[in-house]
Chain A
Amino acid sequence: MNIRKLKDNISSRLMLAATVFACLLFFFMLISIYSRASPIFSVVSITDLLFTSEWGPTEGKFGFLPFIMGTLWVTGLATIIAVPISLLSSIYLSEYAGNHLRNAVKPLIDLLAGIPSVVYGLWGVLAVVPFINNTLAPALGVETIGGYSILAGGIVLSIMVFPIIISVTGEVLRSVSQELREVSLSLGATKWQTIKHVVLRKARPGILAAIVLGFSRAFGETMAVLMVVGNVAKVPSSVFDPAYPLPALIANTFGEMMSTPLYDSAILLAALILLIVVLIFNILARMVLIKIERGVI
């Protein structure tokens, strides 16, 4: 009897330890990255870091503007492509499609989420980049660096965020009560009118949260973007320009950064920026989704 109690007690403590570890892990990451990044703050001011565009680690110039703008361009483009397609698909799946189609599509969406980002990157190199280089750019009369461009990054990224926006939106739409739909339908509204004026209005905060989650996923995506976006440290001015997003900067310079003073601080500052931006987006989106789950919104 006592042995059983003891086992229960010990196992419970071990589980508690694992739980506390999971809670603290994020803060641990934040602190350890911050402490490595902080030396740069005493040498270069934070406004110079964020808003100048000269990048020359060997001369001590650390202007992150090209990388920040590169990230925003690629992520923004991916969001613009992904949002309408994902929302329309998700509405169709939850409002129009029969069970048969829904059950057939769901594993495909899960699979889309499970494909590794290097595989998407390889697909971009084999399909998207040549398409832009050989077909799209000549047709529009624009110059690209062999097709490696923000557009290629945006297309590849948009496919990677489809599953997130589709599945979160699907859950949000399912949480809209059936009675609400029936009231609208009984007043003579068509199905689309009901969706537009009732379902989507009710689901708006949740859909916004889904988009924010998709955006923040795209924001930190590294390998796939790195492989197709060209990696030129210049503030881009069109979608056919190459860009150099923050995650790509981190991935490309890890090897060489220990030899130059402050270089490692600068790279970890890039990681810190990513971490904080994604943290803010995630908390905002999760707050909304938790409220929806509890039926507050």
Chain B
Amino acid sequence: MELRRVEESIFKALMILSLMIVVGSLLGVIGIILWNGLPALNIDILTQTGGLYGKGGGILNAIMGSVYLAVGGTVLAFFLSIGIAFYLQKEYSGGTRLSSMTRLCLDILWGTPSIVYGAFGFTILIYFQMRASLLAGIIILALLELPIMTRAMEEVIKTVPQELKEVSYSLGATRLETTLNVVSKQALPGLMTGVLIAFGRGIGDAASIMFTTGYTERIPTSVFDAAASLPLAIFFLLNSPQEEVRQKAYASAVILLLIILAISITTRLLSRKYTKYIIK
């Protein structure tokens, strides 16, 4: 009789320990990055380009490259994702084979490693005899973000009550009008969250853009230029034997981490602030 209580408390202690390891490792990662990176951050690093060799220079080229890549990729992914997420509603796909097939495909794409996206992008570039460019990176990032964004959007759209849509239909609205005026308003915070999460995934990914976007010391001036990016700046600058250059890698990591933290906090606030405008 007593034994099972002992067993329970042992396992409970193990569970709490495990949870502490999980939360502790998160805090450990954030702590170590900030500890090493914050001292390296200064105005020169943020406003100058070309820090790959030796003293001086900064990571502005990587920051701008990442912004172009992630914004471009997210915008492109948005138009595809929103269409797919809307189409997966019963009114369009009718809950048919196509919709469950699409969900499975999206799940598989979600699980596909980003280096495979990179390899795929590379085969496409060879096929068209193109060099690595911002445009290629944007397209690959859009494909990488597509499954994440669509699944997140679809989850919220699914929660919009059927009655709400039926009210709109009963007033004579078409599917498109109902989707744009009722469904998308009701699902707005969730849709924005989906966009932000996909943006975070896009801005942090290195393996997919390594061979499609390249790396350069300059800020790209057209979509056919190669472009630097924060994740690749971390990777390349860290390999330098010079401490000054490695400092710039730490600084890049802090900026990337702050962007991810900001996204995480914004999604929390979004769901809290906008849920009050939603009909329950």
Contacts and interface: CB of A to CB of B under 8 A. Distances in A.
A221 B113 contact: yes
Interface in B70-102: 79-80, 83-84, 86-88, 92-93, 98, 100-102
A89 B32 CA distance: 23
Interface string A270-297: 0100110011011100100010000000
B19 A274 contact: no
A109 B8 CA distance: 25
Interface stretch (B42-50, B51-59, B158-166, B173-181): B173-181
Contact of A118 (B23, B113, B206): B206
B23 to A, nearest CB: 6
Contacts of B109: 22, 25-26
A33 B123 contact: yes
A159 B176 CA distance: 43
B167 interface: no
Interface centre among A15, A32, A283, A286 (most CB of B within 10 A): A15
B4 A12 contact: no
A19 B84 contact: yes
A114 B207 contact: no
A185 B263 CA distance: 42
**Chain B's interface: helix, strand, loop or mixed, by majority?**
helix
A191 B8 contact: yes
Interface string A103-137: 00101111110111111111101110000000000
Given A119-B257, A254-B211, A11 B176 contact: yes
Interface size class of B (residues with CB under 8 A): 35 or more
A190 B80 contact: no
A122 B175 contact: no
Interface residues of A, number: 83
Contacts of A118: 204, 206, 231-232, 234-235, 253, 256
Contact of A216 (B7, B14, B111, B124): B111
A279 B36 CA distance: 38
B146 A22 contact: yes
A222 interface: yes
A155 to B, nearest CB: 9
A16 B235 CA distance: 40
Contacts of B5: 190
Contacts of B83: 14-15, 17-19
Contacts of B146: 22, 25
B274 interface: no
B116 interface: yes
Nearest to B264: A111
A281 B109 CA distance: 12
Nearest to A192: B8
A222 B208 CA distance: 10
Contact of A108 (B17, B26, B102, B197): B26
Interface stretch (A44-52, A80-88, A146-154): A80-88
A237 interface: no
Nearest to B11: A192
A100 interface: no
A283 B112 CA distance: 11
A91 B256 contact: no
A92 interface: yes
Nearest to A4: B174
A41 interface: no
Interface in A154-177: 159, 162, 166
A223 interface: yes
Nearest to A107: B268
15 contacts: A15-B86, A89-B15, A93-B19, A108-B23, A112-B22, A114-B197, A116-B203, A118-B256, A123-B32, A127-B28, A193-B4, A223-B206, A274-B113, A278-B111, A290-B104
Interface of A: 4-5, 7-8, 11-12, 14-19, 21-23, 25-26, 29, 32-33, 35-36, 84-86, 88-89, 91-93, 96, 105, 107-112, 114-123, 125-127, 159, 162, 166, 190-193, 213, 216-217, 219-223, 227, 247, 250-251, 254, 267-268, 271, 274-275, 278-279, 281-283, 286, 290
